[in-house]
Structure formats: C-alpha cells, structure tokens
Structure 1
Amino acid sequence: MLIDTHCHLDFPELVKDRAGVLDRAAAAGVGRMITICTEIEKFPDIRAIAESDDNIFCSVGTHPNHAQDEREFSSAEIVNLAMHEKCVAIGEAGLDYHYDRAPRDLAHRVFRAHIVAARETGLPLVIHTRDADEDMAAILADEMAKGKFKALLHCFSSSRALAERGVELGLYVSFSGIVTFKNSHELREIARDVPLDRMLIETDAPFLAPTPYRGKTNEPAFVAQTAKILAEVKGIELDELAEATTANAIKLFDKMPPLAA
C-alpha cells in the first residue's frame, strides 16, 4: 500500500471528479491520502472532505503564498482547529521567496506560529520551502533549539545542503513527481542519498504530475509512478520502497489510526 502524504482534494481540478479520483487511487494501491490546507479560512471545507471518507485525513495551516491574503492566525487558534480527529498535521506553512507574495517579516511570523502549533500539538509540520534555503535552515535550527517538533520538507526540490540539514534536525523529506522529470538529475541524486527511513512520497495533486503524465491533472493514483522511480533511484524493489514510505508516514502522522493487519 502507498500513502499520498500531500494532495489538495479541495482544489477544483479534483473536486469535479472526486469519486473517480478516489476510485483510481484505490485501484493504484493508494490506501490513504492527506489533503493539505493552504488557507485556514477554508479549513471547514477541507475538514469536511476528510470527514467524508475513512481513508482521507487533513491538515490545517496557511501556505506562505497566502500569508497576506488572510488574517494572521495565532498558534493557539491553529492548535484549537487541529484538535479535530481527522486533522493529522499542521501546515502547509513555510517560506517562498520564488513568488515572494508576502512581506518576509509577515511570512516569518506566520511560519513560526505554525512551528509553535506543531510543537504544542505534537503533530508534524508540513513545510513548504522554495528559494529560501538559508533562512529556512536558520529558522528550523533556531526553533528546534527552543524545543523539538516533528516536520517534513514537502515536495522537496531544494539544495542537497537543506536536505542534509533537515535530516540532521530529525525531519523527513518528501518527494513528488518532480523527481521523475527528465532534467531532475540532481534531485534524484539527493533522493538516492536520503535515508530510506526518512523518505516520504506525495503527489501535490493537482500539480506536478509525474512522467509520463506531465501536462495532465495530477491525482493521488499517480503517486505510484513516483514510487516506482524512487525505488529505481534507491536500487531497491518497489515493494520495499512502498513498505518503507508507508511505515514512515504512519510513524510521522501518528494521529492516524494504525493500518489494518
């Protein structure tokens, strides 16, 4: 079984055929999905999707590219929302200097509020980071020194240095369809070297469909293709990759109930 640890089932591209999306995921061996929140104000809709299916879970958080679009939620408010039984993570939150849509001081405050919420709830923080490696590494080290928290670097496409620093700090590294792209040689080398017990897989659907589905709407079923390429990169059988990444997901997102025997 595979777990898609990061998708956006509330996005229009997937909403219009959710039943088909879920059927195709099941047929591809994807047993669970975590639908990720990007705007806290829309959390009720995301929570409802998780409530609709035993195999769907969710997170709560503000994506850095939306930090300026909604009010600044306190860590206490995030903690309160995360108490819902189907909410298994905080985020996605982080830094995005590629689009740089939010003032950086605001982006930093919002990110740190999510870290506090992750620390207080014990839930893993889903981290979005793009073109912000130095500041991301610095904030993670600073906050870890204040008190440990669980986290993962989602849809990893950053530097080897950040991957290694993340692993040093106890984080997981999650790979998406980007790792299957023809020009992603360096990313595949990073994936090869990330310890198997710190690796996760995801789609980030509806974005970033893996090869050979590029140009199509991504969906959870396609995580199987990413798993296939990662197994080749690691030099292991697909079953071993699937077993390891599923075990990692269950360990990290430990608010999810155990898998049936």
Structure 2
Amino acid sequence: MSKKKRDIPVFNHPIIETHCHLDYLEGEDLADVLARATAHGVERVVTIGVSPGNLAKVRELTQNPLVWGTLGVHPHDAKEFTDETAAEILAHGNDDKIVAVGEIGLDYYYDHSDRAVQRKVFEQQLDLAIQLNQPIVVHTREADDDMQAILKNFSAQLPKKGVIHSFTSGLPLAEYCLSEGFMLGFNGIVTFNAADNVREVLAATPLEQVVVETDAPYLTPAPYRGRSNEPQYLPFIIEKIAEVKGITNEQVLASTYANANRLFSF
C-alpha cells in the first residue's frame, strides 16, 4: 500500500502563477484545474505563448477571468518564426490581458532549432518587446554566454525588463540578470534532490527579484513528482524558497506576490 502524500498547504495569502502552459494540460478540464488552483490560494494564472500555433489559443484562454497570457516563440520553435508571427505578436502584444513577450530565448541543450536561427529570432522578439513596451519571459538552457551577450545589447531598451524563467543556469548569468533588474523564476526544480545548483542561485537572489511558477504540466514539485504538474502545487515551491532563504512562508508569499504584480503590471 503506497504511503499517502502530504496534503498541499493552503496559506492565508494569494499566490500568482507566473508561468504555466494551460493548453498543454491534456485530458484535464480547464475549469477543474483552475478550481483546484484557487482552492490552494492561486489568484491569477499566466499561461505562456510558445509557438506560432498556440498564440491564438493563449488569447482565447485569457478570456477566463483567472487567466492572463504572454505571446512569443520558444527557441525550440524558432525555425517556425515568420514575419506573420511577428505581426501577430505586434498586433496583440498589448491586448488587455497579454502581459509580456515570451517565452523567448536560447536552448542549446536540445538544439531543436539551429543556434544561429535561435539567436536571430530571440533578437527579433526582443525588438518586438521594445516596440510594445512589454517585459520579456526568457528561456535559457546551456547558453549562458550568448544569453548574456544578447541581453547586454537590449537590456537598456527594455524598461520593464522581465523574468528569466525556470532558472537553472550558472551563478554568473544570474548575477548579471539581477544587476540589470530582471527577476528570476523558480519552480518545482528547487525541491529536487539533485538541484543544489538552483538552490545556490536562489539563495543568492534578493527576495525582491524572485517570482514563483510551476511550468505546468512539467517539473512537478516533490512530493508529487511523477504526476502532471498544475498551479495548485505552488505552495510547495513557496515552502522550499522559505526554507532555502531561512525566512517565513509569509515573507515569501508577500514578496513574490508583490514582485509578480510589479513584473506584469497587474
């Protein structure tokens, strides 16, 4: 008989889910997912654009009163980015519930798109964010040097900065991004046994620059690893951040909530 997993904590402070993929939660009813989230204190959910094919779906999802969205093309799909995609992001990037340009960036781990193409498309979308005066949601993996080099060319033109989501890169890139005013997003990875490198970066990150996310349906936190991730699991991430930083859950809740509001201008 399997041991019962610990119940998901419920706090007396709202939480903002800054990064998930609601349209990837296959087999789950959106209303049920959001009901479970609100039952565990989640006040707002940001669902993320990743490809030319899901931008319209993101906009559709934001019709739900609990959901906001971002528009952008992930580095995996950079090879699919076209002038029409850019025009769509530009046309809708300041819609009422679109809060950022993203998920954009570089991924040299999987290399699903040619690296030169990734860099070009990242820069094109940074230009779109500048035109829209929106923050950016950045994906970076195994690309620290190129990421920092590109951000150096654009950071000054991005007054709203943005967030480096699911931060797993090295401390030098973290320190650069923090010095420029970017926030770092932390998710269930901080609960993984092998993620000492992520906890090291978290420990070095000022609380005023930390936001929480699930990246659902991926990266489910302990003790629910193996299940599809959902925004309802955010309290476990709050607890782990408090533990790593040696502060109370309440301090993490208040700060990450304020940070998310500031990041996305809610």
Q: Deviations over 1:86-117 (max 9, x none)?
A: 11111100000001111122111111111112
Q: Deviations over 1:25-49 (max 9, x none)?
A: 0111111100001113321111111
Contact 2:133 2:159 (C-alpha < 8 Å) held by counterparts: no
Where in structure 2 are the equivalents of 1:170-249 lying within 5 Å?
A: 170-249=181-260
Contact 1:72 1:110 (C-alpha < 8 Å) held by counterparts: no
User: Which residue identity lines up with residue 22 of structure 1 in the other structure?
Assistant: L
Where in structure 2 are the equivalents of 1:88-103 lying within 5 Å?
A: 88-103=99-114
DSSP 3-state at the match of 1:206 = coil
Contact 1:115 1:149 (C-alpha < 8 Å) held by counterparts: no
DSSP 3-state at the match of 2:103 = strand
User: Which residue identity lines up with residue 33 of structure 1 in the other structure?
Assistant: V
Kindly, what percent of the aligned residue pairs are identical? 40
1:114 aligns with 2:161: no
User: Which residue identity lines up with residue 141 of structure 1 in the other structure?
Assistant: K
Q: Distance in 2 between matches of 1:74 and 1:24?
A: 34
Contact 1:57 1:86 (C-alpha < 8 Å) held by counterparts: yes
1:31 aligns with 2:40: no
Q: Distance in 2 between matches of 1:72 and 1:94?
A: 18
Structure 1 pair 19–146 and aligned structure 2 pair: CA distance change class (3 A):
closer
Q: Distance in 2 between matches of 1:67 and 1:82?
A: 18
Q: Distance in 1 between matches of 2:205 and 2:115?
A: 30
**Equivalent pairs, count:** 253
2:79 aligned to 53, 58, 68, which one? 68
Contact 1:76 1:117 (C-alpha < 8 Å) held by counterparts: no
Q: Distance in 2 between matches of 1:5 and 1:115?
A: 19
TM-score scaled to structure 2, two decimals?
0.91
User: Which residue identity lines up with residue 122 of structure 1 in the other structure?
Assistant: N
1:44 aligns with 2:56: yes
The farther-off stretch of 75-84 and 16-25 is: 75-84
User: Which residue identity lines up with residue 39 of structure 1 in the other structure?
Assistant: S
- Report how far residue 148 of structure 1 moved: 4.3
User: Which residue identity lines up with residue 99 of structure 2 in the other structure?
Assistant: V
Structure 1 pair 252–147 and aligned structure 2 pair: CA distance change class (3 A):
closer
DSSP 3-state at the match of 1:41 = coil
* Structure 1 segments of 4+ aligned residues over 6 angstroms from their partners: none
1:134 maps to 145
DSSP 3-state at the match of 1:249 = helix
DSSP 3-state at the match of 1:40 = coil
Contact 1:122 1:150 (C-alpha < 8 Å) held by counterparts: no
1:259 maps to none
1:157 aligns with 2:168: yes
Q: Distance in 2 between matches of 1:149 and 1:247?
A: 15
- Report how far residue 186 of structure 1 moved: 2.1
User: Which residue identity lines up with residue 58 of structure 2 in the other structure?
Assistant: I
Q: Distance in 2 between matches of 1:178 and 1:205?
A: 12
Q: Distance in 1 between matches of 2:18 and 2:116?
A: 29
Q: Distance in 2 between matches of 1:83 and 1:237?
A: 36
DSSP 3-state at the match of 2:19 = strand
